[in-house]
Amino acid sequence: MNQKFEVAIIGGGVIGCSIAYYLAKEKMNVALFEGNQIGSKSTSAAGGMLGAHSECDGDFEVFFPFARSSQYAYSQLKEELNHLSGFDIGYRKGGILKLAYNESDRNGLRSILSQPTVKWLDKEAVREREPDVSSNLLGAAYMKDDVNVMPIAVCQAFAKSAQILGASLFEFSPVLDIQKKDNSFLIQTATSHVEAKHVVVANGVWSTTFFKQLGLDHQLTPVKGECLSVIDEKATLKHTIFHDHYYIVPRNNGRLVIGATMIENDWNERVSLSGMDTLIAKAKTMLPTVADMKLDSFWAGLRPQTFDQKPFIGHHPEEEGILFATGHYRNGILLAPATGQMIRDLILKRQIKNEWVEAFKIDRRQPLLLRR
Amino acid sequence: MNQKFEVAIIGGGVIGCSIAYYLAKEKMNVALFEGNQIGSKSTSAAGGMLGAHSECDGDFEVFFPFARSSQYAYSQLKEELNHLSGFDIGYRKGGILKLAYNESDRNGLRSILSQPTVKWLDKEAVREREPDVSSNLLGAAYMKDDVNVMPIAVCQAFAKSAQILGASLFEFSPVLDIQKKDNSFLIQTATSHVEAKHVVVANGVWSTTFFKQLGLDHQLTPVKGECLSVIDEKATLKHTIFHDHYYIVPRNNGRLVIGATMIENDWNERVSLSGMDTLIAKAKTMLPTVADMKLDSFWAGLRPQTFDQKPFIGHHPEEEGILFATGHYRNGILLAPATGQMIRDLILKRQIKNEWVEAFKIDRRQPLLLRR
Amino acid sequence: MNQKFEVAIIGGGVIGCSIAYYLAKEKMNVALFEGNQIGSKSTSAAGGMLGAHSECDGDFEVFFPFARSSQYAYSQLKEELNHLSGFDIGYRKGGILKLAYNESDRNGLRSILSQPTVKWLDKEAVREREPDVSSNLLGAAYMKDDVNVMPIAVCQAFAKSAQILGASLFEFSPVLDIQKKDNSFLIQTATSHVEAKHVVVANGVWSTTFFKQLGLDHQLTPVKGECLSVIDEKATLKHTIFHDHYYIVPRNNGRLVIGATMIENDWNERVSLSGMDTLIAKAKTMLPTVADMKLDSFWAGLRPQTFDQKPFIGHHPEEEGILFATGHYRNGILLAPATGQMIRDLILKRQIKNEWVEAFKIDRRQPLLLRR
Amino acid sequence: MNQKFEVAIIGGGVIGCSIAYYLAKEKMNVALFEGNQIGSKSTSAAGGMLGAHSECDGDFEVFFPFARSSQYAYSQLKEELNHLSGFDIGYRKGGILKLAYNESDRNGLRSILSQPTVKWLDKEAVREREPDVSSNLLGAAYMKDDVNVMPIAVCQAFAKSAQILGASLFEFSPVLDIQKKDNSFLIQTATSHVEAKHVVVANGVWSTTFFKQLGLDHQLTPVKGECLSVIDEKATLKHTIFHDHYYIVPRNNGRLVIGATMIENDWNERVSLSGMDTLIAKAKTMLPTVADMKLDSFWAGLRPQTFDQKPFIGHHPEEEGILFATGHYRNGILLAPATGQMIRDLILKRQIKNEWVEAFKIDRRQPLLLRR
Ligand SMILES: Cc1cc2nc3c(=O)[nH]c(=O)nc-3n(C[C@H](O)[C@H](O)[C@H](O)COP(=O)(O)OP(=O)(O)OC[C@H]3O[C@@H](n4cnc5c(N)ncnc54)[C@H](O)[C@@H]3O)c2cc1C
Ligand SMILES: Cc1cc2nc3c(=O)[nH]c(=O)nc-3n(C[C@H](O)[C@H](O)[C@H](O)COP(=O)(O)OP(=O)(O)OC[C@H]3O[C@@H](n4cnc5c(N)ncnc54)[C@H](O)[C@@H]3O)c2cc1C
Ligand SMILES: Cc1cc2nc3c(=O)[nH]c(=O)nc-3n(C[C@H](O)[C@H](O)[C@H](O)COP(=O)(O)OP(=O)(O)OC[C@H]3O[C@@H](n4cnc5c(N)ncnc54)[C@H](O)[C@@H]3O)c2cc1C
Ligand SMILES: Cc1cc2nc3c(=O)[nH]c(=O)nc-3n(C[C@H](O)[C@H](O)[C@H](O)COP(=O)(O)OP(=O)(O)OC[C@H]3O[C@@H](n4cnc5c(N)ncnc54)[C@H](O)[C@@H]3O)c2cc1C
């Protein structure tokens, strides 16, 4: 193989596959290289919450509008991708209840509660919706629009739709090397090299290598997250419930996903006993009836974290042909559509909101205090 | 436990669970006993086609209208069950293309083609819809309404919805014995006995035991079916394709299900090498590109077959409190809603089409020639 | 099928398979009926300890000599079965350390420490052998002969060896009914009936049915046990460690098995979150380093418990042709060889220690206080 | 982490782990980096034959003595590794029967039959040993010493034993880069860099990258092999049977492994339907009874192939501190001990047979015709 493409994407997680989809829709000649199987890394580990509100953390300038636009895109993608690829992305309404056990919890929710799309529910109102939730509660912020999806299905649906629209997908093809060659780039895998006008680095927490190869000093650190799932035989949790970075997400298949630990700098993708322990304890405080539910399965994944916990989406500062789309940390599923659209717009030189360009650009300043 | 119920259902496959659902909707006090896990037997092995047309085999008197009413019920159940239980039953349009390789095949399709809901497509029309289908073709009968569902999801959705509506479900509880006691029946499991006014025997191919215990001589024979699934990476099969009892069903998760062998009187639920062999050969004649697809998984199940291949749905000839709903052979998924409704109507003494009562009743005559 | 056998065995767990083996060795014409797959129930859930000492609980009259003879049999079976069947039963030396955290624990070990085959080790001696064991310790009783095996391998090795010696094995064949017919018995399964001179009921916790069918009033109650396994990457536990009915067993494949909860009267064979919780907590008190180990898998099984926690091994009080071999509770793996030999000797009318006959006979007296 | 080691090994397949073991035994300070999990790639796919004779292909100068010495090493390793690590490597006698259906097959066996350790058996003698083998046979070459092992167990046993002897193992740590730094080398992974005096490149078919990075032009090509396993319920295959690169290997757990296809230059590690097809067909010609056996599982792996199908074992031609141990193609399990010993001896400057050094050295001549 020695082909030429307009764009070569490195990484077949939800980010790379979304990019492939949005570019293929523009009839661009795209190749995507995945070292393993499509969606088999961080993406398949995710809970699948589209937490525009719940993950916003006071950032109403950048994160929130970007996340909202992405969340909105999903409401259309669910039909669009199903129509093209036959995949069902497991879009599920219900929204998130962010629990407050006390006033301090409630204060933490204050800024998000100022949004018109978020409502405060007191204990009775919460327990009317979810009778099995802990009775220790003060109340909850109800974020109706923070629906959820099935992450691996989203990723595979993007990939297959892209393929149907003409993109070339290469699984089991780790990219080893990117080299400049005249006006384009040589992408080297174990077997082949292809040429491409643009290269998009989208291989999650493993992107550090390419920053380095391409003369940049950026580091991604993994934040390992462990999850388990249980069979919800009797109860019927209808909303995702959330407290202190832990959550219980109901799926369309009668399972509840309980997640997730946050273990910085651990590359090992297996689940530890102490992680299980923490998850079970935390789940019991939110939903006591969970103790009697039956274990279904368990897994872990690595969240790709940047220095300021915002993704890198933009051009290489000195090489316009190279783009990055990585570092989506806790929110890659949520942000995948908006990221795909933004990379498309960067390549096609369409207009993009300036705040987004600035916030996500590669050479943004590291706040002095966080520098290591 | 020593409880009393209005109805006790034996068997938690798709049939038993549908019955539980329709009775619970009427606010009846129902218990369902499953020896193993809900849906873990024949139900979880099924392809999921709702083949009202494709399986009709000329029987326009009874099978077809019954099957059509059941098929129609699904178009509403998909929302209804999702709303109640959160389950997605994987309802997928597309319909079935029943392939004809030659005139004799085409003749076999004649009667079904007389239906207004079925259309003949010649080779070009078929390959326009499905470009990868064998080029050896004469054409195909297109049965648009024969959509498909995800059988295990249907069954679990019925079960959980029933539970939400008040039914009691007991898994890992094989029923050992049914005894008359005054005006009701004693249901005996390994641990407990419960009393019930009505008993519905719905344990698939294992129902023979209870016919016997209850003084009847009916025998169900298993017809083992083996299946495999592959990952449809490139192609996008949109329709189920079908020939000579074999088929390829596209699922909502990028998998194709290839089924199924017909092995009479084999109780072993594992897949044999020769079964795999047959399936691969058969699939290649229908869709040659399948040879390059990657194997995903494999399984087998036992179809419950009666002497005339029609189900038994009705009262025990001498004990009105005992009902049977079993023997759904190749079409239990398709017929589950109509069966649930019919059992409900029998118990509530509502009106039922006479043809159906007659065709499915327990003591219908065995045609002399088939007797063994 | 309508065959005649000398002996029909009901149940293909470790007990039924051991019996089949010992009878087939005597060239008897044996059939074994298993409702599911060989060894798939309680047997496959077991830890595999041959705890003649650790489980003896002061019963030096009956349990201990019986268990020791069975333990001894294993030291020969490992070669014998491997030679015949090619199976490796995973026999692993090391023995058990029964931990004592305080004087009261130590007192509990007093009687067993009186045995010449058991040695007291103080804390230093324990930690010399197992440096990672809890430092909270007083010491441990070291039971060198309480080695362990791989239960499913033992069971399959018995089954296949029996088959090679001429026994007939029927999987997926639940026995429904046993009826007397002249001088022999009719065994009824869903498909077939066979005739046999002797019937051995060996279907674990599900044996209650047949006691009942055969006019007896004996009840087995399940005591569910949940387990998990972890990958022992760094440490190398060499001995099984044991405290208060919980244990950590090292296997030949780098896994540690952590077991087991004791949940009376629960027939559900899935693992609950609270069970996991308990196991993790208990394991951490014995081996703190376990917290960092990675979870491998989890499962549960039902121990068949009798009123006095001793097995039933003997003839039906009124029907000499019917025998029982069931109720092995926590020790069925350990006791399988001795049970197989005893049933063989009962059928062949060979001599058997009188204490054993008396202790395990079906109509032994239930101590008044335990009666319910 | 920023540690110093005497030797850094890249790749945790059977080759890297064997090297780690033999170096750790010499008390060297060793680190092993595995990108994924220990043994999860080609190694876990292997059949496990130690085919010194069956794979010799007339090369009695180099391959045969090297392979025999490695085969011999296993007969000791099985105890040694079990003692250290508790692992059972599944060493299983029986040997290989290389079948000849006709005179041409028999001629192909002529050279190997000249060895004193190989015996010709005519059809009757073969079928006396293996009654179910095809009756179409002329006879077979019997290679008694070509026993088999359980590859993943061997690899994990090497790894854990090395660790116990002091080696440091890093899983989920792909090495990205090797750089010279003064008298030693910097090994760069996603998270860390370590320094090492010696680097051993042992990452199987993925080694090409490092050849390249280190200024060499060597290419490994994958030869994908697909396998399946079946449950050998009735028959008891005692020997591995082999014909035309396909084989059936009996394992210690009642499974038969059927392998393996040879698909050049395919990096996709999944099993194709056409691969299954081929395996089933081939297995039936060797052992017709296989058709009725039940499928257990299926998998694929990539054999690392060099230009002349011999491994590269030796120093980098210009950098003595860099060593390669890769390209073991069809025989990495067989050759792992001898390779580990040879790398040890190269590093410790012990004496090694000159033929081996010459045959496996990195800059051996590529026969002109094969050059690409
Ligand atoms: C436990 C957990 C829960 C989460 N929950 C949520 C949630 O509820 N909502 C949400 O929005 N987000 C969630 N996330 C975050 C989300 O999963 C990630 O942000 C997202 O998956 C990142 O996608 P990605 O495509 O960048 O990375 P990945 O999915 O990791 O994909 C990167 C891909 O690149 C491939 N690759 C690596 N190196 C190479 C190479 N050299 N060549 C080719 N391919 C290569 C990898 O194999 C991989 O497939 C969660 C994460 C975790 C771990
Ligand atoms: C390969 C294959 C493909 C198929 N494809 C289709 C298809 O595409 N469309 C379609 O409509 N149909 C299809 N079928 C047929 C369909 O699967 C069956 O007709 C249907 O599942 C029967 O449902 P059931 O509930 O009667 O039986 P089951 O699903 O077998 O359920 C019976 C239940 O009873 C339980 N049980 C048994 N004994 C007892 C006891 N004593 N006490 C308590 N519980 C007990 C069992 O554990 C089981 O769960 C297919 C079948 C097979 C095998
Ligand atoms: C968590 C756990 C840990 C344990 N650890 C140990 C240990 O370390 N050492 C030890 O010695 N013991 C241990 N045990 C106990 C041991 O597992 C049991 O005592 C033993 O397996 C009982 O064997 P069995 O053959 O009687 O029962 P089972 O293994 O349950 O076999 C009974 C069989 O009968 C079949 N059957 C049921 N009904 C019918 C029917 N009607 N017709 C045909 N077949 C039927 C079932 O499918 C089953 O396969 C443990 C048990 C558990 C649960
Ligand atoms: C179907 C099949 C059957 C076979 N049967 C036999 C047989 O019967 N007998 C026999 O002797 N041989 C057999 N073989 C061949 C044998 O499996 C191989 O020769 C052997 O496993 C090669 O071992 P390895 O350690 O070199 O490679 P691998 O096992 O592939 O190990 C290489 C390791 O390197 C890791 N890695 C890759 N890149 C990096 C990096 N950058 N940094 C860190 N780690 C990295 C990989 O994750 C992998 O774990 C068979 C092979 C196949 C496929």
CA distance C39 to C43: 5
Q: Any CB–CB contact under 8 A between C206 and chain B? A: yes
Q: Residue C255's domain is classified under what CATH number?
A: 3.30.9.10
Count of domains for chain C? 2
Per-residue pLDDT tens for C15-65?
999 999 999 999 999 999 999 999 999 999 999 999 999 999 899 999 999
Q: What is the pLDDT of residue B2?
A: 59
Asked whether A203 lines ligand 1 (CB < 6 A), one says yes
Average pLDDT (C192-199) is 94
Q: What angle do CA B79, B82, B88 make, to 5 degrees?
A: 105
Rounded to a whole number of angstroms, the distance from the CA of A44 to the nearest CA of chain C is: 18
Q: Indicate whether A159 and A243 sit together in one domain.
A: no
Amino acid present at B340: G
| Ligand with an atom nearest the CA of residue D310 | 4
Asked whether B311 lines ligand 2 (CB < 6 A), one says no
Last residue of a domain, one of C254, C270, C305: C305
Backbone angles phi, psi at C370, to 5 degrees: -85, -15
Is there a domain that residue A314 lies in? yes
Per-residue pLDDT tens for D122-142?
999 999 999 999 999 999 999
| CA of residue C41 to ligand 3 center, whole Å | 5
Q: Indicate whether C295 and C248 sit together in one domain.
A: yes
Angle subtended by helix axes B63-85 and B332-347, to nearest 10: 90
Mutation for testing the A interface, residue in D33, D187, D191, D193 having most A CBs under 10 Å: D191
Asked whether B249 lines ligand 2 (CB < 6 A), one says no
* Cβ contact, residue pair A294, C268, below 8 Å: yes
- B chain contacts of residue A234, beta-carbon cutoff 8 Å: 163
Q: Indicate whether C81 and C226 sit together in one domain.
A: no
Q: Any CB–CB contact under 8 A between A129 and chain B? A: no
Q: Indicate whether B100 and B196 sit together in one domain.
A: no
Which residue among B10, B19, B41 is best mutated to probe the pocket of ligand 2, counting the most ligand atoms within 8 A of its Cβ? B41
Task: Sort strands D4-10 and D30-33 into parallel, antiparallel or unpaired.
Answer: parallel
Mutation for testing the D interface, residue in B267, B273, B290, B293 having most D CBs under 10 Å: B273
Report in angstroms the alpha-carbon separations of A126 from A136, A238, B357: 12, 11, 48
Is there a domain that residue A342 lies in? yes
Q: Indicate whether D230 and D81 sit together in one domain.
A: no
Those residues of chain B that have pLDDT short of 50 are 1, 369-372
* Cβ contact, residue pair D234, C163, below 8 Å: yes
* Cβ contact, residue pair A277, C283, below 8 Å: no
Subunits with 3+ Cβ pairs within 8 Å of A are B, C, D
Q: Indicate whether D205 and D158 sit together in one domain.
A: yes
Q: Indicate whether A70 and A157 sit together in one domain.
A: yes
Average pLDDT (D144-148) is 97
- D chain contacts of residue C238, beta-carbon cutoff 8 Å: 86
Q: Which residues pair with A186 in a beta bridge?
A: A179, A195
| CA of residue A115 to ligand 1 center, whole Å | 29
Subunits with 3+ Cβ pairs within 8 Å of C are A, B, D
Q: Which atom of ligand 3 is nearest to the CA of C333?
A: 11
| Ligand with an atom nearest the CA of residue C202 | 3
Instruction: Give percent of chain C above pLDDT 90.
Output: 92
| CA of residue D221 to ligand 4 center, whole Å | 13
Cβ within 8 Å of residue C336, ≥6 positions away: C14, C15, C17, C18, C70, C154, C158, C328
Is there a domain that residue A275 lies in? yes
Q: Residue C316's domain is classified under what CATH number?
A: 3.50.50.60
Per-residue pLDDT tens for A21-73?
999 999 999 999 999 999 999 999 999 999 999 999 899 999 999 999 999 99
Per-residue pLDDT tens for C93-132?
999 999 999 999 999 999 999 999 999 999 999 999 999 9
Burial A65-93 (b: 16+ CB within 10 A, else e): bbbbbbbebbeebbeebbebbbbbbbbbe
Q: Any CB–CB contact under 8 A between C319 and chain B? A: no
Residue C372 has pLDDT above 60, yes or no: no
Is there a domain that residue D91 lies in? no
Q: Indicate whether C9 and C70 sit together in one domain.
A: yes
Amino acid present at A114: S
Which residue among A37, A43, A268, A269 is best mutated to probe the pocket of ligand 1, counting the most ligand atoms within 8 A of its Cβ? A43
- A chain contacts of residue C256, beta-carbon cutoff 8 Å: none
* Cβ contact, residue pair D209, A190, below 8 Å: yes
Per-residue pLDDT tens for D222-275?
999 999 999 998 778 999 999 999 999 999 999 999 999 999 999 999 999 999
Distance of CA A321 to the CA centre of its chain: 25
Last residue of a domain, one of D305, D326, D355: D305
CA-wise closest residue to B282 among B311, B262, B253, B312: B262
Task: Sort strands A246-250 and A255-259 into parallel, antiparallel or unpaired.
Answer: antiparallel
| CA of residue C370 to ligand 3 center, whole Å | 24
Rounded to a whole number of angstroms, the distance from the CA of D267 to the nearest CA of chain A is: 6
CA-wise closest residue to C256 among C240, C275, C273, C279: C240
Residue D366 has pLDDT above 90, yes or no: no
Which residue among B42, B224, B269 is best mutated to probe the pocket of ligand 2, counting the most ligand atoms within 8 A of its Cβ? B42
Q: Which two tokens stand for residue B67?
A: 């099957």
CA distance A333 to A225: 14
Residue of D nearest to A302 (CA): D172
Q: Indicate whether B169 and B291 sit together in one domain.
A: no
Residue D370 has pLDDT above 60, yes or no: no
Is there a domain that residue A188 lies in? yes
CA distance A326 to A305: 9
Is there a domain that residue D317 lies in? yes
Q: Indicate whether B228 and B296 sit together in one domain.
A: yes
Asked whether D334 lines ligand 4 (CB < 6 A), one says yes
CA distance B114 to B116: 6
* Cβ contact, residue pair D253, C88, below 8 Å: yes
Is there a domain that residue A91 lies in? no
Q: Which two tokens stand for residue B239?
A: 């329709």
Per-residue pLDDT tens for D153-195?
999 999 999 999 999 999 999 998 899 999 999 999 877 889 9
Average pLDDT (A95-111) is 96
CB pairs under 8 A between C and D: 54
3-state secondary structure of D348: coil
Last residue of a domain, one of A305, A335, A361: A305
Q: Indicate whether B193 and B317 sit together in one domain.
A: yes
Q: What angle do CA B96, B102, B108 make, to 5 degrees?
A: 60
* Cβ contact, residue pair D236, C160, below 8 Å: yes
Q: Indicate whether D200 and D271 sit together in one domain.
A: no
Structural domain that includes position B247: 96-145+221-305
Distance of CA D346 to the CA centre of its chain: 20
